[in-house]
Each structure stands twice: as structure tokens, then as C-alpha cells.
Structure 1
């Protein structure tokens, strides 16, 4: 049975593998912290070892241009979807206070995103991401 909600991570298409991995982790942690019941039950392997529960959603990782990421973030915000943007201001800041200070001085039109993560109704996310490619 398909879930009625969907979760996607969309990374900028020009990120190096190391920056893409970092952006994906940051986005996953930030989005997961905003979702209720985001983890399934713990499981046990055949030897009785416990494995922490995972997010039950499949998480496609897609790619888009920096410009398209900014558009997706704005469209997701307008639709009231749960959206997290990992921007270059955050990526370049050495601590969270420095990030908040730099963010407060950066106009939205100048915001560059390394990636965004979005959660919401499956149909809304399909419309928002249908033309994007999977990350390779």
C-alpha cells in the first residue's frame, strides 16, 4: 500500500560527492526533527541484535540547478509543505550563531541552496518534483 505522504531530498546538481553527502545528512536530520512519527519501530536480526528504527518513507535523492532549488523552496513554502533548505550561508558558517547573524544579513533573492528536503502529500510532491532526475 502506498503512503499518502512523500519525502524527497533535492541536491544541487554541481555539488562534489563530499558536499552532497554532507548536505543530504544535514537536510535529513533537520527534516526528521520536524516530522511526527518519523521513525518506525526498532527491529531485531536473527541473532537478537537490535537495529534502530528507520524512517519508513522511501527517500529519493534528486538533483536540480541552484535556480530550480530556490523555486522549489518557494513553491513548497507557498503550499504549506514541510520544507528545509540547506543554504550556502549555513554551509559556510562555522557555528550556528554565525549562521544566524549571516542569514539575517542575506536577502532571500541572494540565497543559494546546496539542497532542500520536502515532506507533504504525495500528489503535491509529485507535481513539484516530477521533472527532476535522480542523483547518480
Structure 2
């Protein structure tokens, strides 16, 4: 059964593996907190152990150039039907959220460099924005 919505995480190509995994996790958590519905219901294994419900969407992790990430963030962010989360270098370098907010406020928009972008929304719209991006290896 195909879901009417799609969730995609896109990380900057060429990131060291540890930074790519971290960026995907940060964006995934932030995006998940904004989804309009909770994860699927909890399950139970044959031994009776309860397992927390998981996001029912497949979550492809793709890669993009810095320019492609900026373009994706701008286009997805302009679409009111999409939920978009961007993780940027200002946030990645900050070790305190208040410092991040202050540093971000001092950074012109055209200088914000994205590390990762997550997009959720109607399947066709998300696919149209991300179909040409390769899977992360």
C-alpha cells in the first residue's frame, strides 16, 4: 500500500560519515516532531515484548550539492503543503541552542549553508523536488 505522503532526508554530498549520520538524525528528529500525526501504533513480538510504534514511511536518505540543498530548502519552504526542516552550518557548529539562535540572527540568509534538509508532504510534490537526487552511500 502506497502512502499519500512522503518523507525524505537529504544530506550534503561529501560530508564525513559521522557528520552525515548526525545531520540526518537531527533533521529526522526535528521533522518528526512537526508531523501532523503520531507514528504507527506500538507492536508486540511473539514473546510479548512491546515495541514502540515507528514512522510508517520509508525514509530515503539522499545526497545533494550545497547549491541543490539551498534550492530544495527554498522551494520546499515556499510550498505551504510541505513541512521542511533545514540543518545548517551555523547550527552544526553551535554547542548551545541560544548561541545558535544568536549566530543565526547575525547571518544573512544567502550565507546560511545547509548540511541537511528534510521534507514531508504530498508524495508527488516531494518526489518532484527530490527525484533527481542520488541515494546516500
TM-score range, shorter chain: over 0.9
Whole-angstrom distance in 2 between the partners of 1:90 and 1:23: 10
Structure 1 gap segments, 5+ residues each: none
Q: Give TM-score scaled by structure 1 length.
A: 0.98
- The offset of 1:77, in angstroms, is 1.0
Structure 2 gap segments, 5+ residues each: none
User: Which whole-Å deviations, capped at 9, do the CAs of 1:46-76 have from their partners, x for residues lacking one?
Assistant: 1001111100011000000011000000000
Whole-angstrom distance in 2 between the partners of 1:49 and 1:8: 30
Whole-angstrom distance in 2 between the partners of 1:14 and 1:38: 33
User: Which whole-Å deviations, capped at 9, do the CAs of 1:74-95 have from their partners, x for residues lacking one?
Assistant: 0001112100000000000011
Please give the secondary structure, in 1, of the residue aligned with 2:74: helix
Whole-angstrom distance in 2 between the partners of 1:112 and 1:128: 19
**RMSD of aligned residue pairs (Cα, Å):** 0.7
Q: Give TM-score scaled by structure 2 length.
A: 0.97
What does residue 73 of structure 2 align with? Answer: 73
Q: Which runs of 4+ in 1 moved over 6 A?
A: none
Whole-angstrom distance in 2 between the partners of 1:122 and 1:107: 32
Pair 1:105–1:13, CA change in 2 (3 A): same
Indicate if the aligned counterparts of 1:38 and 1:56 stay in contact, CA closer than 8 A. Answer: no
- The offset of 1:38, in angstroms, is 3.4
